[in-house]
Amino acid sequence: MRIVHVTNFYVPASLGGAEVSCHELAVRQRAAGHDVRVITNMPGVRFADRNVVNLDLTVNPVEMGLLLSDKRVSRLLKSALSAHAPDVVHVHNTHETLGFAAYAACAPYASLATMHDYNLFCLRTDNMRVEGRACDDRRWCWKCAVHFYPAKAAERFPGRAKAIAAGKIAASPALAAAPLIRNTGRRRRFEQYVDIVICPSSAMRRTMEVWGVLPAKLRVLPNVVGVTAQPSTAEKPRGGVFTFGYIGKLTRAKGVHVLLEAFARLGAAKSAKLIVAGDGPDQEQLRRQALPLENVTFIGRLERAELERFYDAVQAVVVPSIWPENLPNVVFEAMERGKAVIAANIGGLPDQVADAGILVRANDARALSDALAQLVENPDLAQEFGRLGQRRFQTEFAPDEVFARHERLYREVLECRNR
């Protein structure tokens, strides 16, 4: 089978969850004998893999943020697809450098699209309201739009920021109507262009149904995860100190500020450490928040080759997100290694963790602190959760089985298109 993956970014230049899962799927498909290409658009990046086609076009990030199409990207993408003549095209994230035109370019082929985040309908891509909490009502789009469009315009034309701010109130009615018009048209075109929509979690499927995507097109199928470590059990704390770990972007949506508040609630009487790995726009603010706290260490962004150092140092991994995460790789990485997981009960996290870890109310520092204390006071419970998580990963998310399900879905979409 000739397969093309279309994605904003790709490894090793970008190591986000969408890029890593796309890479793992492509690697396994090649190993299974398929002819696989990846088309991306990362200006100035050179890929050693000859099967990766980089359009190498500089795009306006503001226009991409507004989900506008770039005709140059569309033209080159169509040409690259035509050159490979794929049987199946698998579209991943497109909003940063490819735009919505990527779906139209793939329309002539049997096509699938994986919803790694909410970019298809959400201006912010994270399905969160402007006040910083998860959104569960599409009627709030107008509120985000009134803030989003002027902010993007000011970013595009910094010299006119004052004029844009002054005209914001007058333009608010039109701005509020824009998402309704845009999303209605986007949904109809998306249904026309894409044969099957893959939702990595049941939460994403529910969201796509709310947004009006035809249920018959939706399939719940987790991402393929690369096995990067030998299974191991969580170790008991050494020297009486229990070590928690966070790894990921340092942004408000990830809830690291909630984790720091929860850790502060433990107090000095609790023998615990917290290791924070990653970087992001909020890192300086978070470091300042952590200054009064003992035993909190920021170690910066880690390359994939350095992950083992992080996981070897912790007994439990905390995922305190306040946005509805889809299916974050960090949970799989922790479960694979037999580490206990404490996660927010939001988005796709319950699908991953279930009863093999501790789920707490999102954006609730008190509840999160109680969960941290539970493991500090009972390290054996952490070991038990580590074993349960490891078993759950091997049975529910085993890479070989998930890959086989993708293979069946590819054959299904190809047969449907042929009919």
Q: Would you say residue 324 has pLDDT above 80? A: yes
Any idea which of 35-49, 235-249, 296-310 has the lowest mean pLDDT?
235-249
Quote the pLDDT of residue 379.
92
For the entire predicted model, the pTM comes to 0.86
Domains of the chain plus CATH, in order, are: 2-225+399-418 (3.40.50.2000), 242-396 (3.40.50.2000)
Q: Would you say residue 7 has pLDDT above 80? A: yes
Q: Would you say residue 244 has pLDDT above 90? A: yes
Quote the pLDDT of residue 234.
43
* Distance between CA atoms of residues 210 and 3, nearest Å: 30
Quote the pLDDT of residue 305.
78
Percentage of the chain lying above the pLDDT 90 cut: 59
Any idea which of 160-169, 263-272, 328-337, 358-367 has the lowest mean pLDDT?
160-169
Quote the pLDDT of residue 139.
72
> Cβ neighbours of residue 143 under 8 Å, at least 6 residues apart?
129, 130, 176
pLDDT digits (tens, 9 = 90+) for 62-105: 666 555 668 889 899 999 999 999 999 999 998 888 988 788 89
Q: Which of 373, 361, 356 lies closest to 263 in space, CA to CA?
A: 373
370: Cα separation from own chain's centroid = 27
* Distance between CA atoms of residues 242 and 236, nearest Å: 8
Q: Would you say residue 239 has pLDDT above 70? A: no
Phi then psi dihedrals of residue 276, to 5 deg: -115, 115
Quote the pLDDT of residue 349.
96
Quote the pLDDT of residue 315.
95
Q: Which of 322, 386, 373, 368 lies closest to 349 in space, CA to CA?
A: 322
Confidence of residue 130 (pLDDT cuts 50, 70, 90): low
Q: Which of 37, 30, 33, 35 lies closest to 10 in space, CA to CA?
A: 37
